[in-house]
Amino acid sequence: MPFDIFISYAHKDRKLRDELAVHLGNLRNQHVISDWFDGDIIPGTEWEQEILEHLRTAKIILLLISAHFMASSFCWDIEMQEAIARHEAKQAHVIPIVLRPTDWNDAPFAKLQVLPSHGKPVSRWPTHDDAFEDVIKGIRRAVEDLQVSASLKPLASPLRVAGPTSMGTSQVSVWNVPFRRNPFFTGREAIIAQIHALLHAGKSAALSQPTAVSGLGGIGKTQTAVEYAYRYRDAYQYVLWVQTNTQEILLSNFVALAGLLKLPEQNAREQQLVVQALKL
């Protein structure tokens, strides 16, 4: 399977982006990568949602850095922030590529190894071909690292592992979260960090020891849970969602989960047998 690459860039840099795409041709032809950028969006589709969906599933994210990139609110506030969040969660390999000279001192991506070598902007190399040849060598090294990581990933035990199984690899085999991710989610970082710490403290947590987010209606509990699910989806083999408005709704959701997971007890007349099977 090729590794999906997402290219984040300012539209003023479209010409350089296109040059990079040409240099990616050998990797593409060898089915090592599959690159995507917003020029691939089909007319009539919701462009922002399409961008975010590709950004959140790519294994390699290329940030094409220039003054226009730094000045773009969409590149900076949405694409770059999402890329860094996925990098910190070990869900994606983020590679900044400096296209033209600009001030990126103390930017969130400044802690990452940039390309071309020594952070020399593409525009300052003898030719763009020289610069992109160097860039492709760096991307190849990143791909090789991901291939090694993928070959070593452990298998998760179904439903018994509450912690991460293989950060940086796509592990979700069952996903039934009924909400789209909110691209404007903000202000709950401390809570998400606390949930993440609790779920990964010590050994794997059992389902009988849940982490609960409680509070009055309207304070953002659901949105926080949705954001956590999307942000760390690659760390889990199973991401399951149930409604708990009433006991009847909860039991109904458990029965639906049993069918989704194809448990032998899915057709049991006694609903408690289904609940017990899910806990096991």
Q: What is the pLDDT of residue 45?
A: 61
> Is there a single domain that holds both residue 103 and residue 217?
no
Rounded to whole angstroms, the Cα distance separating 70 from 18 reads: 19
**Distances from the Cα of 182 to the Cαs of 64, 84, 85, 223, in angstroms?**
25, 17, 15, 8
160 in a structural domain: no
Whether residues 217 and 103 fall in one domain: no
Residue ranges, the chain, pLDDT below 70: 40-46, 150-173, 184, 200-211, 214-219, 245, 280
- Of 152, 184, 216, which residue sits at a domain end? 152
Residue 161 confidence (pLDDT): 36
d(CA 128, CA 16) in angstroms, rounded, equals 9
pTM of the predicted model as reported, rounded to 2 decimal places? 0.56
- Domain around 209: 174-279
Both structure tokens of 7: 């290219």
Instruction: Give the CB-side neighbour count of residue 66, counting CA atoms within 13 A.
Output: 18
pLDDT, position 215: 65
The reply to whether 165 falls in a domain is no
Domain count, the chain: 2
* 9 and 148 fall within a common domain: yes
Q: Is residue 27 part of a domain?
A: yes
Residue 157 belongs to a domain: no
Q: Do 189 and 106 belong together in one domain?
A: no
Q: Are 170 and 124 in contact (CB under 8 A)?
A: no
Phi and psi torsions of 248, nearest 5°: -65, -45
Bridge partners, residue 34, by sequence: 4
* Residue 159 domain-assigned (yes or no): no
pLDDT of residue 170: 47
Place of tokens 């509070």: 215
**Residue 204: inside a domain, yes or no?**
yes
Same domain, 126 and 239: no
Same-domain pairing of 183 and 147: no
CATH number of the domain encompassing residue 76: 3.40.50.10140
| 53 plus 133 within the same structural domain | yes
Residues 79 and 55: beta-carbon distance below 8 Å = yes
Q: Is residue 195 assigned to a domain?
A: yes
Q: Are strands 3-8 and 33-36 parallel, antiparallel or unpaired?
A: parallel
Does 180 lie in the same domain as 223?
Answer: yes
264 occurs within a structural domain? yes
